Amino acid sequence: MSDKTVVEFSKEKEKKAASKLPQPCSYHILVALPDQEEKTEGGIYLTENLREREETASMTAYVMALGPDCYAETPQRKFPSGAYCKKGDWIVMRSYSGTRIKIHGQEFRLITDDVPQAIVDNPLGVVRA
């Protein structure tokens, strides 16, 4: 297979997977969790169970879609400085936030518009204290 074929196949697969994602309703945000590393920096391989627990407790997420009412409700009172995030942002949120769903083995969450606590450029540098 040529590189061009692989890229086209990947884009087609991505479009197919994206078409199965739920569209968040009301004031909810759909976020994707980053994949967990298979081994530590020291080279120790992590078990599937441990990686799954780390994914469940994840503090960072990628904003996939915003519901139609996100940040619309009385913006002056509840969100005086504007929206906390936008599509394409990496956010920091509380561990275990939102409704967990899995699609094609990838975990997504539906969170409310007041859950994002910060925006980060690189989620790999953010860990629980």
| Reported pTM | 0.75
**pLDDT classification of 3: cutoffs 50, 70, 90:** very low
Which tens digits make up the pLDDT trace of 39-77? 777 888 878 787 777 777 788 999 999 999 998 866 567
Exposure letters 55-82 (e unless 16+ CB within 10 A, then b): beebbbbbbbbbbeebbeeeeeeebeee
CATH number of 22-125: 2.30.33.40
**4 phi and psi angles, rounded to 5 deg:** -65, -40
User: Which of 77, 90, 78, 82 is CA-nearest to residue 116?
Assistant: 90
Would you state the pLDDT for residue 28?
Answer: 96
Which tens digits make up the pLDDT trace of 73-105? 665 677 888 889 999 999 999 988 999 998 888
